[in-house]
Amino acid sequence: MNTQFDVIIVGGGHAGCEAAAASARLGAATALVTHRFATIGEMSCNPAIGGLGKGHLVREIDALDGLMGRAADQAGIQFRLLNRSKGPAVRGPRAQADRKLVAALILEDGSVRGIISADGCRITAPAVVLTTGTFLNGLIHLGPKKIPAGRVGEPPALGLSQQMRDAGLRLGRLKTGTPARLDGRSIDWAQLEEQKGDADPAPFSILTRAITTPQVSCHITQTNEATHRIIADNIHLSPMYSGQIESVGPRYCPSIEDKINRFKDRSAHQIFLEPEGLDDDTVYPNGISTSLPEEVQHVFLKTIAGLENVHVLRPGYAIEYDHVDPRELSASLDQINGTTGYEEAAAQGLIAGLNAARRVSGQAPVIFDRAEAYLGVMIDDLVTKGVSEPYRMFTSRAEYRLSLRADNADERLTPKGEALGLVGAERSSVFAARQDILSRARGLAHGVSLTSAEAAKAGLKVNQDGKRRSALDLIATPGVGYDRVACLWSEFAGLPTYAREALEADALYSGYLARQEADIVALRRDESLTLPAGMDYTSIPSLSAELRQKLERVRPASLGQAARIDGMTPAGLTAILGHISRREIRESA
């Protein structure tokens, strides 16, 4: 049987869902092909969405009319705004949530023309997006046991890796892991510290009017010296330490074996016990990912406070999988989408689906740069630097994070999404209404003011310098703030939360944003200087052999991207510019 589509998405995880939805929103006839429809969008590891850096990505996905934020709002059973006490640039929304069928690609003349499914069905399309997650030659490790699988109970995708190698793509191997799943009915909750969610939950999506799902608490416990002793005595049985696994795992989400081995001076490590659903007794013990043998897991878990009588529903495990070196990609992600965490994968999937649909309609790819979105930062990091471990988004990765806040994602990206045809009518309508309120709020904040004498008379402590201060200036003044301003001008008291947050951020960062804008202008100047696609870096003798090799591998699209390659120097950039100038002179002669 032959079936024709415009775009085929392989894999039904978070990346695949966003890719298929984005492609379909642009009007492309889109097929999503996956092993099991029952597990589309499944949260196979941590039952949570968002966090520091990751929450920014979810807000950006939502601003482009993606699915993840709305799904998290509907399924969220505990919402917390992380870093609430810090500046808005580094706050991260997070929510606890109620919790591959392709045999080969069809390759013709060096391009993918479709897929052949396991049952022999040919599904053809001019664009194929691979979102294979941990399924490419996936191998689960549980102590000495090795189980071929993409995740527990699902077979791996075999054959695709070799086909991509044969096509000349560089592949690597990565590792990640997950903790045991526990039966909440066997946990002694009374002796544990309770962690409640926010009293006024902040949704991810601007389309969510209110969080109506019942909210639950998480609880906190920790490992102890007895736990550490058992793990240390059995660490030779862990696949990572026995030599059974050679690939690299996520540095920022280490297994409990890694924590015990690397931080020998620590007598305890914190564990967050996170419910997986309102009507599900399964508990996710965040912080003790492990691949130790099942019997060792049972023993060390029972040394932990509250878990003395715990029943293990499923042991933890590590999983190894193939991935395509992201330096094989262009910044448009119109070839292959790699594997990362939920939020990182979903953001990549959205861009891959968008550009796959644009490609089949004859349109140029869309690239998001580092100055306009976290997803631009992430993609540039991946295609420029590659990965030696699963990529994780952090606010510290973004040079322009004062501008790229979670609270202004829709202001930054929804107009671009509308221009691309990616945003539907409902979001456009809600966005326009919010922008009207924000515009009036900002006009008011700049338009009303007090002299220093008038401020003092109103009970505000400001410098008596004779200067007139706008409401925005007063919001930024220590000891004054938004609430005092709202007492002076009642119009501020009636503004919605998002408008208040926007004014507070504007006030806090106003001086810094002007300087950052100059940096952004410089970035875009360098990004606009494109480098020839066929440039021969080996013919630039003044470049070091290492830089020539890196440039040939990355094939930077612009001078800005070349500047971000590890080890690049000002002299190296000068040599590249000089080579381009000489080449242009030769070609014009």
User: How much is the average pLDDT of 454-469?
Assistant: 90
When pLDDT is cut at 50, 70 and 90, the band that residue 586 belongs to is low
**Ordered structural domains, the chain, with CATH:** 181-319 (2.40.30.260), 441-518 (1.10.10), 529-588 (1.10.150.570)
pLDDT for 334: 55
- Beta strands 145-148 and 122-124 are unpaired
In the structure encoding, which two tokens stand for residue 288, read together?
């003790």
Residue 405 has which token pair?
A: 């806040």
**The pLDDT value given to residue 339:** 56
* Whether the Cβ atoms of residue 500 and residue 445 lie closer than 8 Å to each other: no
CA nearest to 20, candidates 128, 112, 156, 161 = 128
Say if residue 247's pLDDT is above 80: no
pLDDT at 252 over 80: no
CB 328 within 8 A of CB 167: no
Pairing of β 282-286 and β 181-183 = antiparallel
- Mean pLDDT within 225-249: 89
Please give the average per-residue pLDDT across 173-195, as a whole number: 94
Task: Give the whole-angstrom CA distance, residue 520 versus residue 399.
Answer: 9
Nearest 5°: phi and psi at 548?
A: -60, -40
Minimum mean pLDDT among 289-293, 313-317, 531-535: which range?
A: 531-535
- Per-residue pLDDT band at 2 (split at 50, 70, 90): low
- Give the C-alpha separation, 192 to 114, whole Å: 53
Question: 3-class SS at 535?
Answer: coil
- Residue 383 burial by CB count (10 A; 0-12/13-18/19+): exposed, middle or buried? buried
Residue 327 has pLDDT above 70, yes or no: yes
Q: Cα–Cα distances in Å, from 50 out to 58, 63, 68, 278, 573?
A: 6, 15, 10, 19, 37
In sequence order, what are the beta bridge partners of 136?
157
The SS3 of residue 191 is: helix
What pLDDT, on the 0 to 100 scale, is given for residue 127? Answer: 84
Of the ranges 85-89, 126-130, 146-150, 573-577, which one carries the lowest mean pLDDT score? Answer: 126-130
Q: What's the CA gap between 545 and 256, in Å, rounded?
A: 41
DSSP 442-506: HHHHHH-EEEHHHHHHTT-----SS-EEEHHHHHHSTTTHHHHHHHHSHHHHTS-HHHHHHHHHH
Query: Helix (H, G, I), strand (E, B), or coil: what is residue 430?
Result: helix
Check: pTM over 0.75? Answer yes or no: yes
Q: Is the pLDDT of residue 101 over 70?
A: no
Residue range 97-101: mean pLDDT, rounded: 68
Chain centroid offset of residue 8 CA: 23
Q: What is the pLDDT of residue 100?
A: 44
Query: What phi and psi values does residue 450 have, to the nearest 5 degrees?
Result: -135, 150
Q: What is the mean pLDDT of residues 569-578?
A: 87
% of the chain at pLDDT higher than 70: 95
Residue 45 per-residue DSSP state: S
Q: Residue 27 pLDDT > 90, yes or no?
A: yes
Q: How far is CA 216 from the centre of its chain?
A: 25
**What is the band of 336 on the pLDDT scale with cuts at 50, 70, 90?**
low
Contacts of 195 (CB under 8 A, 6+ apart): 217, 218, 219, 220, 272
The residue type of 367 is I
- The residues with which 381 forms a beta bridge, in sequence order, are none
Token readout for 506 is: 């504007």
Mean pLDDT score of the chain: 89
∠ CA 259-264-265, nearest 5°, is 120
Query: Mean pLDDT lowest for which of 37-51, 81-95, 350-364?
Result: 37-51
Kindly list the distances between the CA atom of residue 336 and the CA atoms of 129, 321, 348, in Å, as whole numbers in the listed order: 6, 15, 10
- Say yes or no to pLDDT of 577 above 60: yes
Contact indicator for 380, 331 with CB cutoff of 8 Å: yes
Q: Is 132 exposed, middle or buried (0-12, 13-18, 19+ CB in 10 A)?
A: buried
| pLDDT tops 60 at residue 390 | yes
- Position 246 confidence tier, pLDDT thresholds 50, 70, 90: confident
Quick count: other Cβ atoms within 10 Å of Cβ 389? 15
Distance separating alpha carbons of residues 189 and 221, to the nearest angstrom? 10
What pLDDT digit, counting tens, does each position of 118-153 carry?
Answer: 777 888 888 888 888 888 889 999 999 999 988 888
Between the ranges 4-18, 51-65, 87-101, where is the mean pLDDT highest? Answer: 51-65
- Angle CA 200–206–212, to nearest 5: 45
- 383 touches 564 (CB < 8 A): no
DSSP 237: G
Cβ proximity of 414 and 64 under 8 Å? yes
Q: What pLDDT was estimated at residue 208?
A: 94
Q: Rounded distance, CA 36 to CA 33, Å?
A: 9
Q: Which is more confidently placed, 412 or 160?
A: 412
pLDDT in tens, 402-445: 999 999 999 999 999 999 999 999 999 999 999 999 999 999 99
